Chains A and B, each alone.
Chain A
Amino acid sequence: MRDEVIICRCEDITWGEIRQALEKGYITLDEIKRITRAGMGRCQGRTCQRILLNEIARFCNKKVEELTVSTFRPPTKPIKLGTLAGDKDD
């Protein structure tokens, strides 16, 4: 894959940035998320996590099933703070 390919569309993270993190020894999804922000944007990794897992597996010579995935955190979809706060008054 070319370095300039964008892996995380929400946070604009390229394969080059992911590759550098892997080469530095950050080989878990959690570490890559924390150091590059990949998977921390609006979609919360729902788009890029699968690509990332495949690439980590390839880099580490492991099967995808052997890798630990990140905790999925609420909410499922972005929600406006006003909508959340409004509910309370109903």
Chain B
Amino acid sequence: MIKSADIVIIGGGVIGTSIAYNLARMGASNIVLLEKNTLASGSSGRCGAGIRQQFGTEMNCLLARESIKIFEHLSEELDFDIELHQGGYLILAYTEKEVKQYQKNVTLQQSMGINSRLISPVEAKEIAPPLNTEGVLAATFCPSDGHANPFKTNFAYAEAAQRLGVKIYTFNEVKEIEIKKGQIIAVNTTRGKIYTSIIVNAAGGYSGIIGKMAGLELPVYSQRHQILITEPIDPLFQPMLMSFSHNFYCQQTPHGSIIMGYGDPAEPIGENIGSSWQFAYEMAHKITQVVPLLKEVSMVRQWAGLYNMSPDAQPILGEHPRLKGFYMAIGFSGHGFMLAPVTSKVMAELILQGRTSLSIEKKLDIGRFERGELILEPSVV
């Protein structure tokens, strides 16, 4: 294994591999990526595969809008089909409070050039005919939202990074970060030591643990989210169906299978990624009310992954103010896959140039929590 590196990236998910690719694309060399398992073995390979721009904060909308722009030509850029399909996101409102929030969200989104709109239940049913609109008061729809294959996106970034000289070591777990007099010296791994002065924490659900190795208490925590998938069936509906009050999301993938999940508010904090029968039970109950036709469709698999939550459900990007060379792309709060394309560009710019072309200055850094500038993202499942 290599003895020293200019930059060590920790985490072989879509965030880590895309940062590696963008660093190399911008001319950096001697980049090493460390992954404790296989690529896409963590949250990237366990996510719901959706891509949306319909968020409730300016920062999440900005990141998502820019990500979609990159997703739209990513297969060509990386020379790997990532199976992008833009069937839209249809977000359902079941309460008056939700309708008011969606009006605010859509106003924000439209002001930023995102083509979302508030629609009636009748129009929602035209967009997704199998939808049961009972109880639906309104919906928002953005046709350019959609789906991409998270595995392939992750592998596409990794292969492109490797073509540009990045070294990727899998089954190589970081055990310790050596710091002397406030300077990063090295990372100790299960396969030896690598000297470096720059570390990128892209460890997703395990980013808090990496922070602790560097002596830092990062304001993130992890929480299990479960998902199930059905057998493939003929095309039934195009958009991702989603509700925050009824707490679910459900989308048919281009492959034909239907993927769905919800967030359990009683889920304890931690790194458990086991599956529970209660989830399958509750999920089946929820979804067969929203799309009754799905009663006849079989689930074939369920699994779980970790959301890495930040205090405002927006990612934390940039260098830690108390440890030079310690960069973070963490706390994506369930949206790491969809935000990866732009995040990785921003991170590469911050690391190599000290600033970014995207106007996120002082909005997504870790210091925002100490400054008390909490702008909470309201739209998370």
Contact = CB atoms under 8 A, between A and B. Distances in A.
Interface string A48-90: 0000000000000000000000010111001111101101100
A84 B299 contact: yes
A31 B281 contact: no
B231 A78 contact: yes
Contacts of A42: 231, 298, 300
Given A42-B231, A87-B281, A88-B281, A79 B151 contact: no
A5 interface: no
Given A40-B301, A78-B298, A84 B38 contact: no
Classify chain A: how many residues form its interface, as a range: 20 to 34
A72 B298 CA distance: 17
Interface stretch (B1-9, B127-135, B284-292, B372-380): B284-292
Contacts of A17: none
A34 B151 contact: yes
Interface in B145-188: 151-152, 155, 159
Interface in B219-253: 230-231
A85 B295 contact: yes
Interface in B34-87: 37-41, 45
B275 interface: yes
Nearest to B39: A31
A80 B298 contact: yes
B280 A80 contact: no
Which one of A26, A74, A87, A88 has the highest number of Cβ atoms from chain B below 10 Å of its Cβ?
A: A74
B294 interface: yes
Interface in A28-46: 28, 30-31, 34-35, 37, 40-42, 44
B284 A85 contact: yes
A90 B296 CA distance: 19
Classify chain B: how many residues form its interface, as a range: 20 to 34
A38 to B, nearest CB: 12
B227 to A, nearest CB: 10
B299 A79 contact: yes
A44 B300 CA distance: 7
A84 to B, nearest CB: 4
Contact of A35 (B151, B230, B280, B295): B151
A75 B303 contact: no
B42 to A, nearest CB: 12
Contact of B288 (A30, A40, A82): A82
Interface string B287-325: 110000011111111110000000000000000000000
A44 B40 CA distance: 19
A73 B303 CA distance: 7
Contacts of B296: 80, 82
Contact of B302 (A73, A82, A85): A73
Contacts of B298: 42, 78-81
Nearest to B276: A74
Given A41-B300, A79-B298, A81-B287, A35 B152 contact: yes
Interface of B: 37-41, 45, 151-152, 155, 159, 230-231, 255, 275, 277, 280-281, 284-285, 287-288, 294-303
7 contacts: A24-B159, A30-B41, A42-B298, A78-B300, A80-B295, A82-B294, A88-B285
Considering the complex of A and B, which 7 residue pairs feature the smallest CB-CB distances, nearest first? A82-B295, A84-B284, A78-B298, A34-B151, A85-B284, A81-B284, A85-B288
Given A35-B155, A44-B301, 13 more contacts: A26-B155, A31-B38, A42-B298, A42-B300, A73-B303, A74-B280, A74-B301, A79-B298, A80-B297, A82-B295, A84-B280, A85-B287, A88-B285
